[in-house]
A and B are shown apart, each in its own frame.
Chain A
Amino acid sequence: NAGVTQTPKFQVLKTGQSMTLQCAQDMNHEYMSWYRQDPGMGLRLIHYSVGAGITDQGEVPNGYNVSRSTTEDFPLRLLSAAPSQTSVYFCASRRGLEQYFGPGTRLTVT
């Protein structure tokens, strides 16, 4: 049971480039979400999904897209990276109240 996995662990992008952060879980959880962690800001919700085919915006969705074609996968897309998107990104899945987080992706946009 791998839990929640994220790839890549580290990424450096130039302003304007696009990329997809991958997230997968093997716990058959319906609820998945993406957070970003910034100093002094805690964990802020970007997008979430309550099941395959259903996504919704969180607190800071601008500049990010998501899709949920399967229960297992919940990729996060940056269409045109900006320096303000430099952050650590965490994917999480949940059944009930206990949420499981992946190890994170550290993204730097120059």
Chain B
Amino acid sequence: DQQVKQNSPSLSVQEGRISILNCDYTNSMFDYFLWYKKYPAEGPTFLISISSIKDKNEDGRFTVFLNKSAKHLSLHIVPSQPGDSAVYFCAAIGLAGGTSYGKLTFGQGTILTVHP
């Protein structure tokens, strides 16, 4: 039972345009969501997060949007750069109890390729 899903295995974008990566979740006990970025032969690194009490969080070129009613979040990268080419993982965690408490649950990942 995949509680966090990234339904697009890959995304290809032109440099300078917007990249939108999507993530859906099923567990309503999740109350914090994170995005990680992973380059080949390296471990994932933290990118940006959002609490379930917010609907938007921005950090430079990266913005995460959360739609709790749809159990959907998205990561926007504007403008996209070739160095953004990586695998992006969505993750969720519950902080208030339940089976998701304290454990980060990851999606399958989306491979982003930004073409010059």
- Report which A residues bind B (CB closer than 8 A): 4, 31, 33, 35, 40-45, 48, 50, 58-59, 90, 92, 94, 97-104
A40 contacts B108, C-beta separation under 8 Å: yes
B43 contacts A90, C-beta separation under 8 Å: yes
- Report which B residues bind A (CB closer than 8 A): 4, 6, 9, 32, 34, 36, 41-46, 49, 89, 91, 93, 102-109
B34 contacts A101, C-beta separation under 8 Å: no
CA distance A35 to B43 in the complex (A): 11
Interface-central residue, B32, B36, B41, B44, by most chain A CB under 10 Å: B44
Additional A-B contact list (15), CB under 8 Å, known A41-B108, A43-B106: A31-B102, A35-B106, A40-B108, A42-B89, A42-B107, A43-B109, A45-B103, A45-B105, A58-B103, A59-B105, A94-B104, A99-B46, A100-B43, A101-B36, A104-B41
A101 contacts B107, C-beta separation under 8 Å: no
A103 contacts B42, C-beta separation under 8 Å: yes
B42 contacts A104, C-beta separation under 8 Å: yes
Interface-central residue, A35, A58, A99, A102, by most chain B CB under 10 Å: A99
